[in-house]
Chain A
Amino acid sequence: MSGLLVTLPLILPIVGALVCLFLPARARPWFGLAASLAITLAVLALARATVLSGELTHSLGGWAPPLGIALRVDGLACVFLLLTAFVGLPVGVYAAKYFALPAEAKGEAFLFWPLWLFLWAAMNGIYLSVDLFNLYVVIEVLGISAVALAILSGRPAALLGGLRYLLAALVGSMAYLLGVALIYGSFGTLDLTLLGALADTGFTTRLALSLILTGLLVKTALFPLHFWLPSAHASADPPVSAILSSLVVKASFYLILRLWVDVFDATLTYAIGQAMGALGAVAVVWGSYQALRQKSLKLMVAHSTVGQVGYLFLLFPLITVAYEGLGDSPWLVHAWTGGIYQALAHGFAKAAMFLAVGIFVLATGTDDRESIVNMVGRLPMTTFAFALAGVSLIGLPPSGGFVAKWMLLKAAFSSGQWWWAPMVLWGSFLTAGYVFMILRVAFAPSRGSDRLRPVPRVLEAAALALGIGAILIGFRAEEILTLIDIESPFADLVDPNEGGISP
């Protein structure tokens, strides 16, 4: 029974994608939405089972590692599976309506559903796999289906952005594969659990670690390896941009986190942690500053992703002190949950923001920042969704982004690494800058009587649902923290609720 539960989040999207390929274009959205609902229910059932009985593992085909390939689900995997499902569902509803609009029906839009389900399968595969080579295969599936989605519109800008994305993704996965080859050469196994006990501080392990890390950093678009992200994310169709920015970069981040704490904890040093944090801090400031400078709405949101991804990496210097003999310090839990919360909050907020900007572009026909005058009067629901997402990105209470940044700040101060704190705050100021710049225009009174193209209500509702999600996860902190703690490397240190994080 538990074997079926663990494999369903993988099997359902793959089967769904294959079936979808053979369906007529008109039936695909309905089938795709039904499949999305089924995957979401499967993930919920899996999360429930994990909460009740702790970590679940399953060996595919009954072959145990090191020969076979194992799947494993713990609290961290559950959190990311749930994030993917709960962002994927509203984005799917939006996509079903968006691609049915007469103006957008051209291009290869009928391929959206099979590709999105393949992409979903790849993401779930990353969250469930515990085998380095199996992970390589799903990373490639992830990269190829993500690029194919990004170029669906067929516009030249999207094609060029897509090729740049594909080349970056290939460089990243090849660096990863070279690292995997070194690991296999040294230790003779690919299973993450077995490797965790073997990894040492030798030269080969260090080299393998740096190749794997660099490969994954390219895919996560951490500064200065983010060069491909803005053009690819901004040129795609809005539902695709939302998926790429809020979910796909999280998949490779998850893998870095997983390898960092489960496999290479003996190989890491204080300096590597500080270097990751420094890149993250520069990304926060650089990405947010670039977002502030953009005239195009979609490019602004894409650059904002570069900045928000930076916050995720502030987690690494804070948890790496654990390996320097400070193993049971309470701030580790704050750093750990803060980093994961940032992934969740950004997931919801960025999807909401891309969908909202997509609606603005649809309604006005241009991507110019100054074209959205008086949106608060003309499209109040969408403007509200944008504002909610902005509140979470800035980190204002009581949003999910607030919980994330609060915990990161707390961990920075109590661990004595105070130098990360000004970076968090500086990033928030810059983010507030570009969010309020958009809202200023949206609240400005209309000069002429320029008419908007009609926007289906379903699109607005999907954006708003995600915006509300970005705020709501700030209120449901306790349930999410319970889930994160299952089999977490820092779970038994201290109860995070004692530290007074409740907003």
Chain B
Amino acid sequence: MSVETHDIYMVAAGLVFAVGLGGVFLCRHFFRKIIATKMLGAAAFLLLVSVSRRDALDAPDPVPHAMVITGIVVAVSASAFALALARRIRAETGQSTFEEGDAP
């Protein structure tokens, strides 16, 4: 099996996703965790864009592009919400990380 361009994108998406996943669980600061979720999104979008043109001879498939645009809009709103929430937590409690015993 020969390595094709598409496979490279796929592996890259997998790596970016793994980095994002590590960030969400290993970083302590809220901001880093939120940025890590953005990397998860970036991995999914990279893969979607790469599948839109698997064969160099075909015209690119517009459907994945539409999905990426929708996905970006959704991801932006979700991160805006997460950032607003993190700021509110900081304003109310002064915390920027989850601490042991935070559970009510």
Q: Which 9 A-B pairs have the closest CB atoms?
A: A185-B51, A174-B40, A157-B104, A181-B47, A177-B44, A231-B103, A170-B37, A178-B44, A181-B48
Q: Do the beta carbons of B44 and A161 come within 8 Å of each other?
A: no
Does B59 sit within 8 A of A, measured CB to CB? no
Whether A166 pairs with B85 at a CB distance below 8 angstroms is yes
Interface residues of B in 34-56 (CB under 8 A from A): 34, 37, 40-41, 43-44, 47-48, 50-51, 54
Contact A170 B54 (CB under 8 A): no
Quick one: which of A168-208 are within 8 Å of B by CB?
170-171, 174-175, 177-178, 180-182, 184-185, 188
List the A side residues contacting B95 at CB < 8 Å.
Answer: 160
Give chain B residues whose Cβ lies under 8 Å from the Cβ of A235.
104
User: Do residues A163 and B17 form an inter-chain contact, with CB atoms below 8 A?
Assistant: no
Q: Note all chain B residues with C-beta closer than 8 A to A167.
A: 24, 33-34, 37, 82
Stretch at the interface among A1-9, A140-148, A304-312, A412-420: A140-148
Check B26 for interface membership: any CB of A closer than 8 A.
no
Q: Is the CB of B104 within 8 A of A234?
A: yes
Q: B11 near A: Cβ within 8 Å?
A: no
| A461: min CB distance to chain B, Å | 28
- Cβ of A151 within 8 Å of any chain B Cβ, yes or no, is yes
Do B104 and A299 touch (CB < 8 A)? yes
* Interchain CA distance A158-B103 in the complex, whole Å: 9
Check A317 for interface membership: any CB of B closer than 8 A. Answer: no
Task: Please state if A171 and B37 are interface contacts (CB–CB under 8 Å).
Answer: yes
Q: Is the beta-carbon distance between B78 and A170 smaller than 8 angstroms?
A: yes
Q: Does A329 contact B (CB under 8 A)?
A: no
Which residues of A come within 8 Å of B, CB atoms? 133, 136-137, 140, 143-144, 147-148, 151, 154, 156-164, 166-167, 170-171, 174-175, 177-178, 180-182, 184-185, 188, 230-231, 234-235, 296, 298-299
List residues of B whose CB falls within 8 A of some A CB.
6, 10, 13, 17, 20-21, 24, 30, 33-34, 37, 40-41, 43-44, 47-48, 50-51, 54, 61, 63-64, 67, 70-71, 74, 77-78, 81-82, 85-86, 88-89, 92-93, 95, 98, 102-104
A171→B104 contact, CB < 8 A? no
Most buried by B among A148, A163, A166, A298: A163
Contact (Cβ within 8 A) A182 B47? yes
Residues of A within 8 Å of B104, CB to CB, are 157-158, 161, 231, 234-235, 296, 298-299
CA gap between A354 and B34 in the complex, in Å: 31
Complexed CA–CA distance, A182 and B93 (Å): 42
Bound together, the chains give a CA A158 to CA B54 distance in angstroms of 46
**Chain B contact residues: over half helix, strand or loop, or mixed?**
helix
* A156 contacts B47, C-beta separation under 8 Å: no
Partner of A166, one of B10, B63, B81: B81
Residues of A within 8 A of B63 (CB): 184
Q: Are B82 and A163 in contact (CB under 8 A)?
A: yes
Assess whether B44 is in contact with A184, with CB atoms less than 8 Å apart: no
Cβ of B85 and Cβ of A178 under 8 Å apart? no
CB contacts (< 8 Å) of A158 on chain B: these are: 104
| Structural contact, B43 and A163, CB atoms closer than 8 A | no
Known: A144-B78, A170-B78. A159 touches B92 (CB 8 A): yes
How far is it, in angstroms, between the C-alpha of A159 and the C-alpha of B102 when the chains are bound? Answer: 10
Q: Which residue of A lies closest to B30 (CB)?
A: A163
Could you say which residues of chain A place their CB within 8 Å of the CB of B33? Answer: 167
Known pairs A167-B33, A170-B78, A174-B44; A159 contacts B85 (CB<8 A): yes
Residues on A with beta carbons closer than 8 Å to the beta carbon of B86 = 163
Complex Cα distance, B71 from A388, in Å, reads 44
12 more A-B contacts (CB under 8 A) besides A137-B74, A160-B95, A185-B54? Answer: A137-B70, A140-B78, A144-B81, A161-B102, A161-B103, A166-B81, A170-B78, A174-B37, A174-B40, A177-B44, A181-B44, A184-B51
Instruction: Please indicate the chain A residues that have their CB under 8 angstroms from the CB of B93 in the complex.
Output: 156, 159-160
In the docked arrangement, what's the CA distance between A171 and B44, Å? 11
CB-based contact B13/A178 at 8 Å: yes
How many angstroms between the C-alpha atoms of A412 and B41 in the bound complex? 40
